[in-house]
Each structure stands twice: as structure tokens, then as C-alpha cells.
Structure 1
């Protein structure tokens, strides 16, 4: 992982904008504003709640058609997709926060959040990819992705472009340059009536919908992430990396699991933003730090118990946070693979039982961390360094997925 240290040195002068939840704090002058908001879904109720983490109260709440399985922000953080896969619909929420860069500073505009008057309907929406000014939503039982422009959605229009795959399956489509990376189903395997075929690989599609290269094998493809121009997918054989040069079609390289690694596979991925690396799960009680440029790309991290959720810190680029089923939050150094700090945050949450059982999720808010605690019906706000609890916010029901939106800038 020495490459990371070199990259970190090169990037030490870069200030990464923190993202988070809804209030303002005056800094050096009256023109500087900081705004934070937290968007929280419920484990069973059909709603999304907007929190003001500074005031410690509910700012707004939106009714959905059903239980929100995924909350996914756009790249700009101006919108959030509330995906309800069992109800064949996606709602779009405007965060009310716009941050624009101007070289030596950023500007910030703060308005009230709102539920946009658009409903994206289709058969079983699941994976959604934020890319540039677009959101790419895949509909499993239609076997297609729809590309929505964020600006168009904010205008109340739900027009889209379509990227079709071979057949309905639990899939994903990822933009890359002038191409799309699309999961490929295995049509030779017999499936029960009503079931979807398994994934066997990934392929590149051009703007005309044509496959431009052979399908790259990636059995059981699941998990996707971007990092510094690369896209990674989890597979049973390893992690497959897609890269692109100029206008050429994307190329795929399989990083096979080595023989000395314990049994496991990657099915969830997060990608580094300021350093080129990926963090993935590896079975239930291990993580892997993946350096695509290394001859030995995998660093296996054994956890004391099974993980519940993990995220990368967008500001402290060498740190990831891992919530484990014993109720502890752990800070993981992605350079060394060592856990540098742990603290008891909640009562234990066992991973046994249904995958949808209420369990905590975490989100990073600059120098704070939000942890949902569904059993207690609260969101806990912690100091990101000490993990000391600063306050709790009461949320009716079972707070589950959480997205942090915000930052700071000049307000003209």
C-alpha cells in the first residue's frame, strides 16, 4: 500500500468538500455559510424524513408508495433517488442544497428540500448509478436502464434515454466515457417461473446499443464502484476492473483472488475518491482493500465480528468507518488495514435473520458521523475522531438508510 502514501502526499494540499445535513454557521464573515441535512428512510414505513442535525429536529417528511430499499444521492447532491423496488417506483427528492466550485472557492445556495412531482415507474427498480449530471436507474424485470438528467428532473420532467440489456435480470448499467458497462445474464441456465437468471459477466455497449467486445466473465456479478477513472465489479472469481483510454472501448482485467486468501467473495464495493483503491466486503466478517495497480492487489482485513455497514470518509481519505454487529463503530486505516479506533455505539445488532431486519447504517458529515439506531428510533451524531456522542435525534419508526448532504461556501 506504499502507493497510497505517495498519492496521499501529492494530494495533501487538496481540501475536499465535506458532505452532510440542515443549518448554517457563520465563519470568518457573514457571506460564508455551512448547510447540512440528513435524509433518512424507514425500515418498514413508506416515508423519508429530512433532519436538521444542528438543531436536532425533523425538518420535513415525505410519504412514499412503499418501503424505501435504497437512498442514493446524485454526484452534485442536489437530488436523492428513493428507490422502492417492491412497489415498482422511484421518487426523487430535491435536497435544496447547491454547491458550485469556482476555483479558489465554492458558492452555496440553500433552499427548502422538496419532493419533486415526478415518479419514475418501472418493474423492480434496484441499482441506481450516479454519473456526472445523470442518474442511471436499472429496472430488473424489464432488463433495461433508464438515464435521467438531473437538471430535467429538477424541472419536473421525467424524460429519459434507455439502455437495453440482453434480458431481465438483477443487473446494473454504468456509464464509462462514450460507452455503457452492462451486466450480462446467463440465459443457458434454467430458472423457475418468476425467477430471474443469474449474472455471468459484464460487457461494453456503445451509444447505438451494440456490444463492442466479448463478454468478460464475472460470475454472480454484484457490487459496483468508481475510483479515479476505474470501475470495479465484485465477482465469484475476483474483482473485475474496467478502464478506458481515449475513445477506445473499455477494457476489462480480472483481479483473481489468490490461493492464500481465505474463502469468500466481494459483493459490495466502495471506491476511493482522492486515491485509486476500492474497499469491499469479503464474506461476512472480513473486508478487502484493493489496489488495482499492485501485483498483490488484495489486503484482507479480519473483523472481530460480522460487519453491518461500511463507508469511506470523503474528507479523511485514508479512513473508512465500519459498523459491526456487536454495536461498535470502527475506524479502519485503508493504508495499513488496521483498525485504529473502536467504540461501543449501540446495543448489538445480530446479522442472523432476514437481510431486511432493522440494522444501523452510517453516513459521514464532515467532522461528524450519523448512525441510525432503529431499535431505539433515533439517529446518533458522533464526533468523527473520538466517536463521542454529541446528540441524538428522535425519529418515529425504524430509521434505516441515511444520506448526508451539504458543505460550505460563499453565499452571495
Structure 2
């Protein structure tokens, strides 16, 4: 169903079994030296990591003052590790651990801890575990998130060996059920599911271009396809088709683990230029339905611009400069908060462009055009703090402390 806005105003390795089927980035002003605080003393509290070309700034999550600046490779991706303090940085050797020192008065540091991976890709956090996926091998690395705390060495990991390399992702559920994408150099086709003993319990090849995942209420897991999505729940895989065929792509899932509804991005023209999108999917994992909601005129976003926040609502940072609040239950835009100047979509997905992340009720919004960042209270729309960074922000990750 398509709905218009008029209708809806790690280092010990313990192998837990090999998958037996086809497994499957600025200009700097004067900044502090790497790893040194910008102010006389950092305060305990939340932190925000902001990647720029060749480095990462660590900011105080309340004042947005820079408390650390570390050197990195030219382009890095940032993912929260899941413990409220550490961030996984994708580097050429693998996933390197950034200690933001959130919740402490310590100085941030890019540690020497690296989870080795050939072409590090997706990072998933669920049920106290952190799951790392290596695109170059399709291997999956799993560890207890809490084991990063105070670690001077890599925590013990479990590794599921992949079969054929592809850009994929894996999920581990509470009972040990292991879900992973299927693909190879020629393309990606679906998912396979194994129980805690490694026995295959479900599989589907009905997901061309499978990409992105999200775990919703009651551990229902959604994977995006170029013609809809797959839902895994209660031991079964259900395909939900997009209203546009043969191409109606959902590739990124924005979830709350207390809501059965997954908000996904949506693209219905494979030849469309640029990265701005104008519709979202609403996937009800309980009812096993997929709806497409066309956004109001002027509202457009990229994969970096949707989050779930207070009351399980979705918050879309639009090219018009506002955060638009979307109710997943109705598909309606219920409020809008002007935050930054209007902006244009990137020429390449890696190019700096506005992004939004959330920690509790607070959203952090980057504005590359002004080399700045803003903290916004999502319950009121009030901009609580803003800061000029002296560098052009790209990726961003919160650490709540």
C-alpha cells in the first residue's frame, strides 16, 4: 500500500560454527593535539564523536566543547559500541576502538585495540552483544559489549566464519539465534537463520540487494530488499512486498526495540540522481505489512537523517533544515523544528552532509556548511547548544555515558 501525505496528513577466538550455506570522510583551524582536552579539565557526562577528514573530535555532550581530537585515516565511519562509552571506528585494519571517556573526567583516546576485519562494515548492537561484520570475508565477530569496560586487551570473541564475501550484516538474538545475509561478488539475495547450535532453521532467497537490518519489539528482525523487506519472527521468515515493482527499495531500518513498527528509507527509481529520498516505509512486524508514505513537499532526507527517539517517534532531518516528527502509527508529520539552514544532497554518499543521531531525548545535528553542530531537545524542539568545530563534520556517534 502506498500512502500520500494527503491521506496520512574479539583476542581469543571461539568458533561457534561455520555457516554452511552461501553466507551470507575539511580544513582544520588551530585544534588541540591528538588526545588532549581543549579545556583545562573535562567533565563527566555524555560525549559525542564527530569524524572529519583525517580525524575525530570528541565533544562534551552538553556544552559541545571539544574535549579531544585524535588523528585517523582520511575517511572513517563511526558506530556506537553499545556500552555508552566506546565507539567503533572503521579503519583499514578493522574496527578500532575509540574511548570517548563518556561518564568520566578522563581524556578521550583512540586506543590500540583493533578487531581485525577485512573491509569492516556494519556494527550491530543487541541484547548486550556487539556484532561486527567484515565485508571482505563475510565473517561475523560477536562479543559481550560490557567486556569493553576498562579493557586493556580485546575481549574474548566468538567468530562465525563466512562463506562468500559480500557487503552484509548479521544479528544475534537473545537465545543465540544467528541471522546473516546471503550473497557473493555478483550480488546479495537473502538471509539465512541458524539456531544456537548452528542448525539452519530458516532461509530466504527472496531479497534481491539485501541491505540494512533492524530489530524491533519482541525481537522481530527486518532486512531491506530492492522490492520490499524480509521479516523474521518466531522462527519464520515473511516477505513483504513494496507497492512499486520490480523496484521499491528499502535499505536502512530505523527501529525502536519497544515498537513493532520499523521505519525504513524508500526509493522507487533505481536511476534517480542524487541521494535525497522523499518517502519512507512503515513495516509492521506484528501485522506483517509494508506501507509507503510519501513525505510532504520539501521534505527530503538521506540515510543519515532518520532516527527513533522519545515516544518511539521517528525524527527526520530534512533538506529544508528542519527536524520533522513522524508518528509511525499513523504516518503523519506531527511537528517540525527548524534547526539548520536548508541544504542540498551530497554528490557521493561519503561526502559530508547533515546527519542526526540521538541519545535519550537529545538529538545531535551536524551542519557541514557552517562547520558546526547543534544539540536539540526532541521533546520541545529547543536548540540547547551550538558550536563551531573548526573542521567539517562528517559521521557522528553519541556516547551517553
Q: TM-score, normalised by structure 2?
A: 0.77
Q: Secondary structure at the match of 1:35?
A: coil
Would the alpha carbon gap of residues 37 and 212 (structure 1) be closer, same or farther in structure 2, given more than 3 Å must change? Answer: same
Looking at structure 1, the residues matched to 141 and 242 of structure 2 have their Cα atoms a distance apart, in angstroms, of 33
- Give matches, 1:130-149, under 5 Å: 130-149=125-144
What is residue 331 of structure 1 aligned with on the other side?
325
Which residues of 2 match residues 80-95 of structure 1 at below 5 A?
A: 80-84=87-91, 87-95=92-100
Correspondence for 1:156 among 132, 148, 152 = 152
Q: In the alignment, which residue of structure 1 is the partner of 2:49?
A: 39
Aligned to 2:24: none
In structure 2, do the counterparts of structure 1 residues 313 and 325 end up closer, same or farther at CA, with 3 Å as the change threshold?
same
The match for 2:233 among 230, 235, 243 is: 243
Please say if residues 92 and 116 of structure 1, whose CA atoms lie closer than 8 Å, have aligned partners that are also in contact.
yes
Instruction: Give the secondary-structure state (helix, strand or coil) at the position aligned to 2:209.
Output: coil
- RMSD over aligned Cα, in angstroms? 2.8
Counterpart Cα distance in 2 of 1:394 and 1:377: 6
2:182 is aligned, of 178, 184, 203, to: 184
- State the secondary structure of the residue aligned to 2:136: helix
The alpha-carbon deviation at position 57 of structure 1 amounts to 1.0
User: Are 1:217 and 2:190 matched, yes or no?
Assistant: no
Alignment of 1:7-406 (within 5 A): 35-42=45-52, 45-69=53-77, 71-84=78-91, 87-97=92-102, 112-154=107-149, 155-158=151-154, 159-176=156-173, 177-185=175-183, 196-207=185-196, 209-228=198-217, 229-244=219-234, 250-258=235-243, 264-283=248-267, 284-294=277-287, 296-304=289-297, 305-308=299-302, 309-317=304-312, 319-351=313-345, 353-406=347-400
Q: CA deviation at 1:53?
A: 3.6
Where 2:260 maps in the other structure, the secondary structure is coil
Q: Would the alpha carbon gap of residues 257 and 58 (structure 1) be closer, same or farther in structure 2, given more than 3 Å must change?
A: same
Q: Is the 8 A contact 2:82 2:145 kept in 1?
A: no
Query: Contact 2:216–2:285 (CA<8 Å) still a contact in 1?
Result: no
* Distance (whole Å) between structure 1 residues aligned to residue 254 and residue 308 of structure 2: 11
Gapped runs of 5+ residues in structure 1?
A: 1-21, 23-32, 99-108, 187-195, 245-249, 408-412
Given that residues 75 and 132 in structure 1 are in contact (C-alpha distance below 8 angstroms), is that contact kept between their aligned partners in structure 2?
Answer: no
How far is 1:375 from its partner? 1.7
Q: CA–CA distance in 2 between the matches of 1:360 and 1:392?
A: 14
Do the aligned partners of 1:116 and 1:156 also contact (CA within 8 Å) in 2?
no
Which residue number corresponds to residue 17 of structure 1?
Answer: none
User: Structure 1 residues 263, 89: CA separation in 2 closer, same or farther (over 3 Å shift)?
Assistant: closer
Look up the match of 2:28. Answer: none
Report the 3-state secondary structure (helix = DSSP H, G, I; strand = E; otherwise coil) of the residue aligned with 1:253: strand
Change (3 A) 1:80 1:166: same
Q: Provide, for residues 335-354 of structure 1, a one-character-per-residue CA deviation record: whole Å limited to 9, x for no partner.
A: 22111222443333222511
Q: 1:167 to 1:332 in 2, by over 3 A?
A: same
- Normalised by the size of structure 1, how large is the TM-score? 0.75
Tell whether the 8 Å contact from 1:74 to 1:131 is kept in structure 2 after alignment. Answer: no
Contact 2:76–2:89 (CA under 8 A) maintained in structure 1: yes
Specify the SS of the correspondent of 1:92: strand
Counterparts in 2 of 1:263 and 1:112: CA distance versus 1, 3 Å: same
1:48 counterpart SS class: strand
Q: 1:343 to 1:178 in 2, by over 3 A?
A: closer
